[in-house]
Chain A
Amino acid sequence: MNVLRVSKWTIAAFVLPCLIVYVGLVFIPVLVSMYSGLLDWNGIGTSKFVGLDNFKTLLFDDPVFWPSVRRTLMFAVFSMAEIPVALFVAILLNRFVKKPNFFVSAYFMPVILSVVIIGQLWKTIYNPAAMGGMLNQVLEQIGLSSWTHSWLTEPNIAMYSLYFVALWQYLGYHTLIQFTGIQNISADIYEAAKIDGAEGLKADWYITFPMNIPIFKISIVLAFIGSLQAFDMVMVMTAGGPAHATDVISTHMYNMSFLSMKYGYGSSIATFLVALCLLATVVINFIFNRLERKYT
C-alpha cells in the first residue's frame, strides 16, 4: 500500500507535466486519427463523413487486410518465442563467461544499426546465388542446390525471411534485458537452493525462470511493440511485395493513406491498430498479474 499522503497540488505537479505532453501529442492525435477513419477523404481535398463505411470495407471486403493482420500477429508470436532463447543465452553467459558484458554488448550491436543497413545486409544474403547471395551460394556449395530459394520474392517464403531478420536483429536486445534481470537475482537465493539440492538447470527452472517473470513482461511488451511497428524493415526489404505477400498492418496503412490516397480508410486501419494495442495490453497485463500472483 502506498504510504505518502500528499496534497492535490503536489500530485498535480508530479503528474501533469508528463500527462499533458503525453495526452496532447499521443492521445489527441490518435483521437483525431480515429475521427478521420470515419471520413471519405484523400488527405488533401474536401472530406465527406461516411460513418462506419470504411470499417465495413476494412473488415469484410479488403482482401489484403486480414492476411496483413495475421502476419503482424505471427511477427509478434515469433518475437515472443525468441524470449526464452534469449533467457537461455543470458543464463549461459552468466554461468560460463567471466566477462559477460562484452558478449552482451556485442550481441546488442545489430539493434543500434539503422534499418537501412540491416536491410541492405540481408538483401545481399538472400539474393539469388548468381547475384552474390550468400545463403544460396552456401547451400549450393554444400550440395543442397534444391534448397535454394528466391528468399524475398517467393510469396510463401518471403515473410518468413523477414521474420528471421527481425529475430536475428532483436536477439541481443532480449538477451540484454534478460541478462540484467538475472544479474539482479541475489546469489544467496541460489546458495539456499543449492543446499536444497537444486543446481544448474534445475535451479534455473525453479529460481531464474520465476524470478525473471517481471522481466519477461517487459520483454514481451517490447517484442509486441516491435512487431506492430515493423514498418521500416518491411519497407526496406520488400515494401510489402510481391503483390502484398509481405504486407503487415502498418505497411497496409501506409499504402492506403499515402499511396492510394485514401487517408480516411488508412485512418480506419490506424484505429484498428490502436484497438489491437489495447487488447494486447489488457491480455498481457492479465496474464502477468496471474503469473506474478502465482509465483510471488
Chain B
Amino acid sequence: MSQTIPVAGVKPVAQRGKQMFPLAKIIVFILLGILLVTQLYPLLWLLIYSLKNNEEILSGSFFSLPSKLMWSNYTDAIASGNYFKYLLNSLITTTSTMVLVLLLSSLVSFAISRFRWKYGQLVMVLFLIGMMIPMQATLLPLMLIFKEMKILNTLWSLILPYVAFQTPIAVFIMSGFMKSIPHEIEESAVVDGANVLRIFWSVIIPVSIPPMMTVCILTFINIWNEYILAATFISKEALKTLPFGVNSFVSQYSVNYGAIGAYLVLGALPVIVIYFLLADKITKGMVAGAVKG
C-alpha cells in the first residue's frame, strides 16, 4: 500500500477528465446512471414492500404498488418487534466490537510492522490463517467455551467472537498499511525522546485513520446482520439484537413479510443515515490522513 503515502500534497484527482469528448462523457454518465438505478432500486423496492400486505408481497408483480399503505407494518415492527430495545443492543454490540477490533488489531499490527523481533512473521501468519474461516463453522465449540466462561446470555458472547473473527482481516489491512509508513517518522520521534506508546499513539495512529475506516466498514457489514451466533448464544429477551426482530416475524406456518420489510427499513435506516453523513469523511478522511503523514 505504498501509494497511500503521498510524495507531496495531494491535489484532487477528479479534475483530470475535463477535456474529454462530450460524447464519451454522456456514455459514461448513462453507464454510471444505470448502475446507480440498479444499486439503489432495492431501497425503493424495500420501502414499497414494507407498506404492502402479505398477499401483495407474495403475489404482486415486481413493480406493483400497494393498494393500501400498511403503516401497521411499522407499528407492528416497532411495538411488537421491540425495535428500540433491539436497536440499542445492536448498537452496543457493534460499537464495542468495532472499538475492540480497532484497538487490538492496531496494537498487533504496530508490533508486527514496526518492532524488531523474531516472531513477528510467525504471528502474522497465524492471523492470516484465520482470515477466511467462517464463524458459523465454530458454533458448537464456541458454545462449549462460553458455557465454561459463563458468559452465555450476555452481550460478551457476541462481542468476543465477533472481535476474534474480525481481527485477522483487520490485522491484515492495518499491518499492510503500517509497513508502508516511512521509518524516518519514528526515527525522528525516537530522537525527540518519545517512548513506544507515544510513538504508537501520537505518530502511527493519526496516520492510520484510512485503514481504520476500512476496518470499521468491514467489521460493521460483517456483524450488523449476523444472526446465527446471536440466536444461539442469547436467550434473554432484553439482550436480543436487530436480526432477531426481523426473524421474529417468521413463525412455523406463517411469515409476516410486511412487518419484516418495515423492520428491515427501520434496521437499515440508522445505518444509511450514518453512512451518508460519513461518506464524505470516509473518502476524504483517507486522503487527509495520508497527507498528515
Contacts and interface: CB of A to CB of B under 8 A. Distances in A.
Query: Do chains A and B make direct contact within the complex (CB under 8 angstroms)?
Result: yes
B1 interface: yes
18 contacts: A2-B115, A6-B115, A15-B123, A18-B105, A21-B163, A21-B167, A29-B138, A92-B31, A94-B16, A109-B43, A113-B46, A116-B247, A132-B59, A180-B283, A182-B13, A221-B169, A277-B131, A285-B128
Contacts of A125: 62
Contacts of A58: none
A228 interface: yes
A224 interface: yes
B59 A168 contact: no
A273 B134 contact: yes
A97 B17 CA distance: 9
Nearest to B177: A214
B1 A215 contact: yes
A221 B104 contact: no
B107 A218 contact: no
A296 B2 contact: yes
A14 B225 contact: no
Residue from the set A18, A43, A103, A186 with the largest chain B CB neighbour count within 10 Å:
A18
Given A2-B113, A190-B13, A137 B164 contact: no
Contact of A30 (B133, B173, B243, B271): B133
B137 A30 contact: yes
A96 B30 CA distance: 12
B114 interface: yes
B99 interface: no
A141 interface: no
A253 B139 CA distance: 12
A2 B120 contact: yes
Contacts of B168: 22, 26
Interface in B228-270: 243, 246-247, 257, 260-261, 264, 267-268
B283 A116 contact: no
A180 B42 contact: no
A116 B264 contact: yes
Interface stretch (B72-80, B81-89, B141-149): B141-149
Contacts of A106: 36, 39-40
A276 B120 CA distance: 24
B123 A33 contact: no
Residue from the set B13, B45, B171, B271 with the largest chain A CB neighbour count within 10 Å:
B13
B186 A3 contact: yes
B13 A187 contact: yes
Interface string A58-99: 000000000000000000000000000000010011111110
A173 B169 CA distance: 15
Contacts of A190: 13, 16
Contacts of A1: 116, 183
A112 B116 contact: no
Contacts of B206: none
A274 interface: yes
B4 interface: yes
B71 interface: no
B152 interface: no
A295 B29 CA distance: 32
A117 B42 contact: yes
B210 A26 contact: no
